[in-house]
Structure 1
Amino acid sequence: MVLRMPVIPRPAASGPLRIRDFRLLLAGAAAGQLGAQVTLVALPLVAVLQLNAPAFQVGLLTAAETAAFLLVGLPAGAWVDRMRKLPLMIRADVVRAVAMASIPLAGVAGVLTMAQLYLVALITGVATVFFDVAHQSYLPQLLPKDQLVSGNGALETIRSTAQVAGPGLGGGLVQLLGAALAIAADAAGYALSALFLWAIRQPEERPRPVPGASLRKDIGEGLRFVFGHRLLRVIAFTTGLGNFFTATLMATQSVFLVRVLGLAPGAVGLVLSASAVGGLAGALCAGRLAARLGQARLIWLSALVTGPFAVLWPLSGRGAGAVLFAIGSGVVFFGAVVYNVAQVSFRQALCPPRLLGRMNATLRFLMWGTLPLGALAGGALADAFGARTALAWCAAGFLAVPLPLLLSPLRRMRDLPATGPDEDTARPDSADAAEAASLG
């Protein structure tokens, strides 16, 4: 029998950065995100420069990276709720490190193919689904509810900082070492992330099995919780729509920047870093903006004000004209990060701990399941009509993203309702009364 020390409640005013285990979680996120951002530049460039893949195959590669959210997104939540979160995240990091390490090894041996890239993308995608669902479900175990916005803001700051440094570093590594060898940085990042997570000492009990539970029932309970809450429904639809067009962008931007604007790999990395600068600014400002404007109001304002800057992507040109692409990305991703901090913190505070994995997985399935579809659409549009036309469709899509929010009760609210999660689970639209009380 293993004796566990009781968990001493942390003072709410201490701040999340004073908690050792949260700092380790941040360090792991920094290592993993930096490597992943290098790959964001390097992996498409492996296909474009080293394997000379057409635009549709590059889109298919992006789709393969995110297909796991459609394939295993729903059952992943039920499985995560039955397991301890921390060991699961460590195993996912190890799998991703090994899979990514196979690319530079194959590149050195001269046997790298698109088939291997697709396989690695699928494997790392599945591991990422489990990691992300467990990660969002684990954070409320480290932090009290009133520090979730600060904690998520800190994680978004780390992610956005990695997005600033990663693309530039990735472009430089591709130019210096070649695209395949640059992927080694991602493998190292996942390995470091696993080591930081392994050092966390917060006790975590294995979830108790529920009598009569089954995978089908567990998935159904997660679906009922999400679809039974009006605000979660509209957030899921809006985010899924935004992710569809984000994937269209991701599938076509490397082809556009290299083959249309004629940028070298190092310049591609610098241009893509602009989106991360905007994201970093959004992460730093999200908490203060939520306090000043209200969390509910911030969700729809962030999408409405920044989305129109997407039109700068298809308007950008060679030379100095590439700056337009960078400005558009910076502003759009500023809004995206502010939006994410607000809505993720709301979801975590709303949901009971026993449902966190299923709630996050259901929302990931709905929100991120559109990513492979958007990537395939982007690749097909770029192949048929050119990358600039694909980006024009993408920009038009970003203009439509705020519409579901503007047609929802969120438009008339300042703050999000602190409804009882168990009541929402039991009664599908029990949020309505709380929403009405919060209008203003």
Structure 2
Amino acid sequence: MTNAAAETTSGAFPRFWAAQSLSQLGQRFGLLALPVAAIDILHAGSTEVGYLTAALTVCYLLVGLPAGAWVDRWPKKTTMMSSALVRALALAFLAGLWAGGHLTLTWMYGAAVVIGIASVFFDVAYQSYLPFIVSDAAIEPANARLEASAQISAAGGPALAGLLLKVVSAPLVLAFDALAYVLSAGFLATIKDTEPRRRPRQRAGHSLAAEIRAGIAFVLGNPVVRRLCLAVGVSNFFATIVMTLTPLLILTELSLGATAMGVILGVGTLGGLAGSLVVARLRQRRRAGTVMAAGLLLAAASTAAFPIAGSLREWSPLWSAALLTLGQFGMTWGAVTFNITQVSVRQRVCPKELLARMTASIRFVVWGSMPPAAILAGWLGAQVGVVPAMWLGVAGTCLTVLPILGMDRLLQGRTSHG
């Protein structure tokens, strides 16, 4: 890297960090406000909440694979800016429909699909952009900082949204959400980076299908990335079952209210912040596979607190809220520990020209599993009850660690062989 490039990237990361933090804050606002609006205003049940969650994530099945090829061709900063503004417009549209008395579940499903598609492009570009603005040695510390801000947003977002829900309606919280995305796009606009605005002409001439196949081939052919893809896919599928039913558990089964839900999820998510602050120290003492396995096991064990709280309805609301907060704290600590480590491993082993396609291929599997998981959660909740359905999700999360076993030997072998 030249001196000029080094200066550019050193100034680019703080702005990128701010933009990512605002985007994360917007996502957390929406994840709380959308189901609350559906439940409180439109009287949605478990099936409808499942459909809404599916609408937010079905986009990974619709555009997940081509998004990677497109993002590898497009300027990533421009892609992220456009994605943020599209999400802002969709949320503002929902708020406008509510103000005019025309908000329906159909409109919410449609807007959720648009928001989800825009999120695909933002997330693929965001994870692919980082190696262009920091050195390889700085990737893991940079990911830790980004994850720390994400967890602060995850903690502060639901808590702030919960407080806002106490004084304003859920659609107005969506308007605040839209503002966060606009500010995110504004920070991105100020970044001066050294990324080429266009790919080389010979690569741009390749068919979209050929580029998609190249990304899939790398994920399937690289043993490290293949195992990570499987682990994250299993984890997201079963975690989606639990998290889809969480609003119903808190609002319906335990009758704690939207404000309490925001505080529980927000304060509990501080565990993710703690994980992001200590993961670098853990990595100095333990190998990547060991750290990832420990994170997954902690997350799986902590998730059990959700159905336990639902099974003990006779407890006072304070005890139920405390147990849910503790479970959220441990779950996010473990998940963040795993996520920072696995993303950093992927970014180091993948060639830069394949980063977006590799990310998109993994997200197609990982996030594409979420719509059927959300629909399954809604069906299970209606058929067997919210708490038994959550126990099935908890049991599944315990399988997540299996693909990680032996990862340290695999990584060491790859290092030994250059």
Tell me if both proteins adopt one fold, taking TM over 0.5 as the criterion.
yes
Name the CA distance, whole Å, in 2 between partners of 1:97 and 1:187. 4
* Identity percentage of aligned residues: 36
The question of whether the paired residues in 1 share the 8 Å contact of 2:155 and 2:269 is answered with yes
Q: List structure 1 segments (4+ residues) > 6 angstroms apart after TM superposition.
A: 435-438
* Cα distance change of structure 1 residues 92 and 48 upon mapping to structure 2, 3 Å threshold: same
Task: State the match for 1:351 in structure 2.
Answer: 350
Instruction: Give the 5 Å matches for 1:376-395.
Output: 376-395=375-394
Shift in Å, 1:325 = 1.7
Alignment match of 2:153 (pick from 145, 154, 162): 162
Amino acid at match of 1:434: R
Instruction: Give the 5 Å matches for 1:85-234.
Output: 85-205=76-196, 206-210=198-202, 213-234=206-227
Task: State the match for 1:335 in structure 2.
Answer: 334
Query: Is 1:410 aligned with 2:407?
Result: yes
Name the CA distance, whole Å, in 2 between partners of 1:51 and 1:353. 46
Amino acid at match of 2:277: L
Name the CA distance, whole Å, in 1 between partners of 2:299 and 2:119. 28
* Cα distance change of structure 1 residues 331 and 437 upon mapping to structure 2, 3 Å threshold: farther
The count of residues paired between Structure 1 and Structure 2 equals: 410
Task: State the match for 2:240 in structure 1.
Answer: 247
The question of whether the paired residues in 1 share the 8 Å contact of 2:287 and 2:408 is answered with no
Instruction: Give the 5 Å matches for 1:49-60.
Output: 49-60=40-51
Shift in Å, 1:436 = 7.0
Shift in Å, 1:88 = 0.9
Name the CA distance, whole Å, in 2 between partners of 1:123 and 1:314. 32
Which stretch of structure 1 is more off in the superposition, 33-42 or 209-218?
A: 209-218
Name the CA distance, whole Å, in 2 between partners of 1:328 and 1:140. 34
Shift in Å, 1:276 = 1.4
SS in 2 for 1:96: helix
Shift in Å, 1:41 = 1.2
The question of whether the paired residues in 2 share the 8 Å contact of 1:29 and 1:155 is answered with yes
The Cα offsets for residues 376-401 of structure 1, whole Å up to 9 and x where unpaired, read as: 11111111122111211111112221
Task: State the match for 1:307 in structure 2.
Answer: 300
Alpha carbon RMSD of aligned pairs, Å?
A: 1.9
Name the CA distance, whole Å, in 2 between partners of 1:321 and 1:95. 38
The Cα offsets for residues 347-394 of structure 1, whole Å up to 9 and x where unpaired, read as: 111111111111111111111111112111111111112211121111
The question of whether the paired residues in 1 share the 8 Å contact of 2:377 and 2:389 is answered with yes
Shift in Å, 1:89 = 0.7
The question of whether the paired residues in 1 share the 8 Å contact of 2:289 and 2:404 is answered with no
Which stretch of structure 1 is more off in the superposition, 186-195 or 302-311?
A: 302-311
Amino acid at match of 2:37: V
SS in 2 for 1:207: coil
Higher helix proportion = 2
Amino acid at match of 1:336: A
